């Protein structure tokens, strides 16, 4: 279990159980989150509820205890015994947190960084417009339910291009669109004009694709343009496109196939082509003559990766394979059907259908789509909507003149990626402000923006510094608005505040418990030895015998071994070597200590000292030489290391808790406590 997973649970888990000894080693190996700029401060709230108890001066309300109790007890049994038992565990938990705070573990840089990293993760759901996010998920699913075939013409354009260059490209595409509308052949125009390298071969035809396979603006226009029509120019990060939607059909779903492939190099001469074609024809003939699929795959397929698995390929859907392969695969009507020879740019194939499935239901797909969208450019619309809400709530006020003044000053050092902060020494005006519900105004200045530029700039050769500046300003503006909202989440959402407290306490508990219990039990070898010496009679071996167990393939060899052993002229090893030369499957032996019930062969001796009679067991013959029977005795420290370490940890934690209960004052309001189970 990694620490990143353990932390949110630890505050509750540690109340009720001891973490296993191995947990800290595995958990500590977890990657820690990136260090954020600022860790938000959680301000305490005024207590107006009944106080259940005080621990070291900290007031704990009845509702706080009940909330934690309900969360960690799904059945929420409100009996006196259950409440008192949990109260005892809860007190232990609070004492540990109090001790961590007294040691100032919560003020260390590593703690603050780790907690702030988790905060960034936990805040994300609160920093997107949930309505927009749900709409994007539904939209993506609806598009996955259909396949669209489209062609396009692309004119490339740098994202940081000047307005005049942007207009020039846009107008150029308008002329190309007009040419097609007047009767020009789209494929020919694409071959002549498009800057998509594939257009030379496909005439701009991208084939069928489905949702989440294209950049969002392109996908949207392809799905919303009626078949046969051509869109107006639209911009993506690649440049400007015009798109012709050719067809929209119901989604094919996904298919699981296997194939036999004979490769054909692009520059192959006629003899190589003939040889490859002859090979795939032989494979097809053998299949039609009844040869097993797997054996033909092994014999002929040149796709070494899939050939090891009977030619099996991963599941795929629309747009995931070259069109010729996809079309032939989905044309197979039933599981087990095999295609004729299919030619693609990679060579020749014979395809076998293994299984086919439709698009998963919305509920089945929803979680996956949520994750995909969170990493996709379309998620920006959800963030943009959220930023607009933040600006409205906190009375966003911008100073356009100050923004333009600063951005106009940017020069080519920004495009080179070496713009210096000293260039902004004379810029100190406000760029925008946010005002909270108490009327407190936060100003964001030209200096703040300058710092952002200096730490986020990259080399963008050929770009315009002002275009870069406006783009960076928009991103900085968005980031600061989201950060402003994030810092106020604790006061707006009680669930977020409680979750952050659990993470905070969980990190403290993990680090302190590791120091006081888990790692200490492993590192304190003297303490472990002393604990073992004082408690070793709790770790006992039962009665055990010391014996050598000889195994023979039959009675004849066993009797020969026994006869020579009794003569006493040769050692056991000499006898075994001599017999095994004549009988390769001859004698084996095993020496060891055996407890009652550990070996069925040993049990058949009746635990009598000396050489046993022949024992028949599982088609083998055995002779046991029982040399000694040891009485009940303590296990050595090494023999019980795992169990003794776990018990030593329990002992250390118990002693630690006893010390904490003496160190910190504690008072419980029994009337309030009784009201919990008497309600």
486: which 2 tokens?
Answer: 């994030």
Phi first, then psi: give them for residue 665, nearest 5 degrees.
-70, 150
pLDDT band at 72 (very low <50, low <70, confident <90, very high): confident
Asked if residue 178 is part of any domain, the answer here is: yes
Closest CA to 268 of 259, 260, 279, 258: 279
pLDDT band at 584 (very low <50, low <70, confident <90, very high): confident
| Predicted confidence (pLDDT) per residue in 270-296, tens digit | 899 999 999 999 999 999 999 999 999
Query: Which run of H or of E encompasses 590?
Result: strand 588-595
Are 242 and 282 in a shared domain? no
Asked if residue 169 is part of any domain, the answer here is: yes
Residue 3 pLDDT = 55
Q: Is the pLDDT of residue 14 over 80?
A: no
Residue 549 pLDDT = 95
| Predicted confidence (pLDDT) per residue in 391-410, tens digit | 999 999 999 999 999 999 99
Contact, 293 vs 311, CB < 8 A? yes
Asked if residue 385 is part of any domain, the answer here is: no
Q: What is the mean pLDDT of residues 523-552?
A: 95
Q: Is the pLDDT of residue 26 over 70?
A: no
What is d(CA 351, CA 338) in angstroms, rounded to the nearest whole number? 6
Greater confidence, 8 or 130? Answer: 130
Are 229 and 295 in a shared domain? no
CA angle 369, 321, 241 (to 5 degrees): 70
Are 563 and 481 in a shared domain? no
Residue 231 pLDDT = 97
Contact, 365 vs 141, CB < 8 A? yes
Asked if residue 290 is part of any domain, the answer here is: yes
Q: Is the pLDDT of residue 45 over 50?
A: no
Cβ count within 10 A of residue 442: 13
Residue 645 pLDDT = 95
Closest CA to 99 of 508, 521, 648: 508
Asked if residue 18 is part of any domain, the answer here is: no
Q: What is the mean pLDDT of residues 586-603?
A: 92
| Predicted confidence (pLDDT) per residue in 364-385, tens digit | 999 999 989 988 888 889 999 9
Task: Supply the CATH number for residue 593's domain.
Answer: 3.10.50
Are 477 and 428 in a shared domain? yes
Count CA atoms within 13 Å of residue 181 on its CB side. 12
Among residues 309, 334, 357, which one ends one of the domains? Answer: 357
| Predicted confidence (pLDDT) per residue in 460-490, tens digit | 888 899 999 999 999 999 999 999 999 999 9
Global pTM? 0.70
Q: What is the mean pLDDT of residues 86-100?
A: 94
Are 243 and 262 in a shared domain? no
Closest CA to 282 of 258, 254, 262: 262
User: What proportion of the chain, given as a percentage, has pLDDT over 90?
Assistant: 83
Among residues 194, 221, 250, which one ends one of the domains? Answer: 250
Are 434 and 474 in a shared domain? yes
Q: Is the pLDDT of residue 44 over 60?
A: no
pLDDT band at 48 (very low <50, low <70, confident <90, very high): low
Residue 78 pLDDT = 87
Q: Is the pLDDT of residue 29 over 80?
A: no
Contact, 545 vs 592, CB < 8 A? no
Task: Supply the CATH number for residue 240's domain.
Answer: 3.10.50.40
Q: Is the pLDDT of residue 36 over 50?
A: no
Range of the domain at 231: 146-250
Q: What is the mean pLDDT of residues 71-77?
A: 80
Q: Residue 289, exposed/middle/buried by CB under 10 A (0-12, 13-18, 19+)?
A: exposed
DSSP alpha helix (H) spans, 514-554: 519-523, 525-535
Are 245 and 275 in a shared domain? no
Among residues 329, 357, 385, which one ends one of the domains? Answer: 357
Residue 19 pLDDT = 32
Q: What total number of domains does the chain contain?
A: 4
Are 288 and 310 in a shared domain? yes
Strand, helix or coil for residue 201: helix
Closest CA to 262 of 274, 253, 250, 244: 274
Q: What is the mean pLDDT of residues 496-521?
A: 93
Asked if residue 349 is part of any domain, the answer here is: yes
Which residues, other chains included, contact 285 with Cβ-Cβ below 8 Å and sequence gap of 6+? none
C-alpha distances in Å from residue 154, one per residue of 61, 159, 290: 65, 14, 50
What DSSP letter does each residue of 552-566 carry, written as one string? ESSHHHHHHHHHHHH
Residue 375 pLDDT = 87
Q: Is the pLDDT of residue 27 over 60?
A: no
Q: What is the mean pLDDT of residues 42-48?
A: 46
Query: Which run of H or of E encompasses 277?
Result: helix 270-288
Which residues, other chains included, contact 31 with Cβ-Cβ below 8 Å and sequence gap of 6+? 4
Asked if residue 81 is part of any domain, the answer here is: no
Are 316 and 412 in a shared domain? no
Asked if residue 49 is part of any domain, the answer here is: no
How are the residues of the chain apportioned to helix, strand and coil, as percentages rounded to the nearest 5?
50, 20, 30
Are 471 and 548 in a shared domain? no
Residue 462 pLDDT = 80
Are 335 and 427 in a shared domain? no
Mean pLDDT of the chain: 90
Q: Is the pLDDT of residue 187 over 60?
A: yes
Are 152 and 238 in a shared domain? yes
**DSSP annotation of 18:** P
């Amino acid at each position: 279990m990694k620490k990143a997973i353990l932390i949110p649970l630890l505050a509750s888990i540690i109340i009720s159980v001891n973490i296993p000894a191995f947990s800290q080693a595995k958990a500590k190996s977890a990657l820690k989150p990136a260090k954020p700029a600022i860790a938000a401060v959680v301000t305490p709230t005024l207590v107006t509820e009944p106080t259940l108890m005080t621990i070291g001066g900290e007031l704990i309300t009845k509702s706080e205890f009940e909330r934690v109790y309900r969360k960690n007890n799904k059945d929420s049994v409100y009996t006196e015994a259950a409440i008192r038992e949990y109260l005892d565990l809860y007190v232990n938990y609070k004492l540990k947190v109090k001790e961590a705070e007294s040691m100032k573990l919560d003020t260390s840089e590593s703690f603050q960084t780790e907690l702030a990293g988790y905060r960034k993760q936990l805040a994300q759901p609160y920093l997107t417009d949930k309505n927009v996010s749900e709409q994007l998920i539904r939209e993506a699913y609806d598009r996955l339910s259909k396949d669209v075939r489209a062609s396009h013409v692309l004119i490339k354009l740098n994202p940081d291009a000047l307005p005049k260059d942007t207009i020039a490209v846009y107008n150029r595409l308008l002329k190309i669109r007009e040419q097609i509308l007047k009767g020009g052949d789209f494929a020919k125009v694409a071959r002549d004009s498009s800057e998509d390298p594939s257009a030379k071969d496909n005439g701009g035809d991208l084939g069928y694709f489905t949702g989440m396979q294209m950049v969002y603006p392109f996908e949207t226009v392809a799905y919303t343009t009626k078949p046969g029509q051509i869109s107006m120019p639209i911009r993506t990060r690649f440049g400007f496109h015009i798109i012709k939607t050719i067809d929209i059909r119901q989604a094919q779903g996904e298919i699981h196939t296997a194939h036999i492939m004979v490769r054909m190099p692009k520059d192959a001469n006629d003899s190589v082509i003939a040889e490859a074609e002859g090979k795939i024809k032989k494979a097809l003939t053998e299949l039609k003559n009844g040869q097993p699929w797997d054996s033909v795959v092994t014999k002929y397929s040149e796709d070494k990766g899939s050939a090891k698995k009977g030619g099996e390929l991963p599941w795929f859907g629309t747009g995931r394979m070259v069109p010729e392969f996809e079309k032939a695969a989905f044309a197979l009507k039933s599981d087990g059907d095999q295609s004729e020879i299919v030619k693609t740019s990679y060579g020749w194939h014979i395809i076998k259908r293994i299984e086919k499935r439709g698009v998963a239901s919305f509920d089945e797909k929803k979680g996956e789509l949520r994750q995909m969208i969170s990493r996709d450019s379309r998620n920006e619309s959800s963030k943009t909507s959220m930023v607009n809400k933040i600006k409205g709530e906190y009375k966003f006020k911008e100073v356009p003149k100050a923004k333009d003044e600063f951005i106009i000053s940017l020069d080519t050092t920004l495009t080179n990626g070496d713009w210096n902060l000293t260039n902004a020494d004379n810029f100190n005006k406000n760029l925008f402000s946010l005002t909270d519900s108490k009327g407190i105004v936060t100003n964001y200045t030209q200096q703040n923006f300058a710092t952002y530029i200096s730490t986020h700039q990259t080399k963008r050769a050929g770009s315009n510094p002002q275009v870069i500046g406006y783009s960076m300003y928009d991103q900085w503006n968005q980031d600061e608005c989201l950060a402003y909202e994030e810092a106020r989440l604790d006061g707006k959402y009680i669930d977020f505040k409680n979750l952050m407290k659990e993470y905070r306490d969980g990190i403290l508990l993990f680090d302190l418990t590791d120091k006081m219990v888990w790692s200490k039990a492993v590192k304190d070898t003297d303490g472990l030895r002393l604990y073992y010496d004082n408690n070793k009679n709790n770790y006992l071996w039962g009665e055990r015998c010391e014996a050598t167990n000889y195994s023979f393939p039959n009675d004849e060899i066993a009797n020969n071994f026994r006869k020579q052993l009794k003569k006493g002229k040769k050692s056991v090893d000499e006898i075994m070597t001599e017999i095994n030369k004549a009988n390769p499957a001859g004698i084996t032996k095993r020496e060891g200590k055996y407890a009652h019930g550990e070996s069925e062969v040993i049990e058949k001796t009746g635990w009598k000292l000396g050489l046993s009679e022949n024992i028949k067991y599982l088609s083998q013959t055995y002779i046991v030489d029982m040399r000694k029977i040891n009485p009940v005795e303590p296990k050595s420290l090494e023999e019980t290391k795992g169990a003794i370490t776990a018990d030593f940890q329990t002992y250390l934690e118990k002693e630690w808790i006893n010390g904490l209960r003496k160190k910190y004052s504690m008072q419980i309001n029994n009337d309030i406590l009784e009201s919990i189970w008497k309600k």
